[in-house]
Amino acid sequence: MSGARLWIGRSVRVLVVAGLTWSTVAGPHFRGWALVAALAGVATTLVAFRAFFRVTRERLLWPSVGLLLVLEAAAFGFSFAGARTPAIVLWCACAITAMERLPLAVGVLCSSAALAAYAVMNTDSWLTTITTTAGLALAGYVIRLDAEARGNAQRLLAQERAARKAEAESAALAERGRIAREIHDVLAHSLSAQLVHLEAVRQLIQRSPDLEADRAQLLERVVACRGMAREGLDGTREALSALRGEMIPVEDLLRRLTAAEGARLDVTGEPRVLPAEAGLTVRRVAQEALTNVRKHAPGARVRVRLDYGADDVGLEVRDDGGRGRSAELSASGSGYGLLGMRERAELLGGTLESGPDEEGFVVRLRVPA
């Protein structure tokens, strides 16, 4: 509620109370101690009505009914003492408040009782009394409907705010998960490749009696590790750029990867810009598959095929088996690369298949794009 509306409401209530008090004490019936008693009665009634207003707002049934009976008795007291105006106002206010805030069945009974008391004690013509009573009953019911509508609107607004908050939290969690997957995939690819070369260096050092004779191979492996570290750094930068929406085309990246690995790249279909998640998945699967070829099938001939479909994109990485699998080298790395890629593809509604094929190994990816 706005501050202006709040102060207007308070001002109206003060004016109404002042007017009722004046109309009560200004009559000829209250002089001396009778005036003091009238003022005390008005004050007590105001306190009781404020309490009635509060307990009905808090939906406390029996305290509300008890205070309503007290207020009805006070109205009868005012009427018998000759103060008809505050009695009529009290009956009408109790009837409307009961109809608005109490449960419907109880509210109808309490409002009917208050209006019946008003009708019995009213000295106007019967037509005026019936019209006034019916108008008050209708006004109370309309106010009740308005209060229920405002309550429903507030509940819907609260639900909408809660839904928006939950949606924002879900989107934030999804974005955190996406960032975590990107960083994990980049680092896992780079570190796994470095472990392959470091394992080869360890084997050369362990098995070679003359390190000087194998100096060229050791240097080659160390240089390769440095290259993998640089590649990991570039991959991390690329992932961060992708998260900012600044990605190079998939074909360009695949050409770089295949050129570095000495693999063949074929592109079929009509090239187009891929959605961010689909493009990143194709990149990561290509990197992981080429790393696995280097690790499990050194020297193998590799063929990479990128296929643009009407509603999806496919990637196939196939090798011919190479010179055989090195058990010690293949033990390096986490071993969860393709599993993570499969989970990434399934999150997008795609598929990833991998396994032996003819003489070598094949990885097939298909994701909507």
pLDDT tens-place string over residues 24-50: 656 666 666 666 676 777 778 888 888
pTM of the model: 0.44
* Cα(87)–Cα(71) distance, integer angstroms: 9
Which of 13-22, 57-66, 290-299 shows the lowest per-residue confidence on average (mean pLDDT)?
Answer: 13-22
DSSP of 230-259:
HHHHHHHHHHHHHHTT----HHHHHHHHHH
CB 306 within 8 A of CB 315: yes
| Residue 270: strand, helix, or coil | coil
Q: Which residue segments constitute the domains of the chain, with CATH numbers given?
A: 3-123 (no CATH), 165-368 (3.30.565.10)
CB 348 within 8 A of CB 295: no
CB 265 within 8 A of CB 256: no
pLDDT of residue 336: 46
Q: What confidence tier does 113 reach under pLDDT thresholds 50, 70, 90?
A: confident
Instruction: Name the DSSP class of 125.
Output: -
**Torsion angle of C-alpha atoms 119, 125, 130, 136, degrees rounded to 10:** -70
Helix, strand, coil percentages for the chain (3-state, nearest 5) = 70, 10, 20
pLDDT tens-place string over residues 235-249: 666 666 666 665 677
Say yes or no to pLDDT of 213 above 70.
Answer: no
User: Going by C-beta distance under 8 Å and a sequence separation of 6 or more, which residues neighbour residue 196?
Assistant: 291, 294, 295, 329, 332, 333
Instruction: Name the DSSP class of 27.
Output: S
Dig out the tokens for 124 from the structure. Answer: 């106007």
- In the numeric block, the tokens 């088996």 are attached to 321
Nearest to 282 by CA among 363, 193, 225, 365: 365
Taking residues 262-266, report their average pLDDT: 89
Say yes or no to pLDDT of 301 above 60.
Answer: yes
Say yes or no to pLDDT of 334 above 50.
Answer: no
pLDDT tens-place string over residues 86-109: 788 888 888 888 888 888 888 888
Maximal C-alpha separation, the chain: 128
pLDDT of residue 305: 93
